[in-house]
Amino acid sequence: MSDVRRVDPTPETLEAYASVSSAFDVSARYDVPALLEGHFLAHPVPAVTKELEDPRRWQRYGLALWGLFLAYDDANPVGACAISRGVDSLYFDTAPGDALLWDIRVSHVYRGSRIGKTLLREAIAWARDAGIEALLIETQDTNVAACALYASAGAAIVDTRRGAYVEWPDEVLIVWRIDLS
């Protein structure tokens, strides 16, 4: 069982956050038109491993308005989540009352144990308490686990865009929204 805590954005907590691997395997992608209709049809793709940005680099954003969460098993960080305020997405517009789910990750060994869902629930509660009107989430059609997580939290797809990523030109950007007001 894990213990989820909101943490301050100190160098030590960013180091603990970074100790949770963000690597995830891509082996399938969703059919986006079907996804837009609420059908989760996944098709196999050649396997590749992707990794998210190192959280120790986030200091450049000024983290005072961010919500950071760590999930622990005893004293070991096994999951992490970050919500950003005051930082615009590279790929879509945000309104003044919006925040971005900047990152969510769970250690390989703990995936499937509901830690991601618990982290997201805690982050949503924090965002609601902070007066955030909507939480926007960016992912890709190749991150099937993340898409399923966001849908299970009540997120709705508000935008999709092919070719948004220079480094992954065949992937489809998916923007999810969770209304909090």
Looking up residue 128, the CATH number of its domain turns out to be: 3.40.630.30
**pLDDT tens string 148-174:** 999 999 999 999 999 999 999 999 999
Question: Are 146 and 175 in contact, with CB atoms under 8 Å apart?
Answer: no
**pLDDT tens string 128-153:** 999 999 999 999 999 999 999 999 99
Name the pTM for this structure: 0.94
How many domains are there within the chain? 1
For residues 143-169, one letter each, b for 16 or more C-beta atoms within 10 angstroms of the residue's C-beta and e for the rest, the string is bbbbbebbeebebebeebeeebeeeee
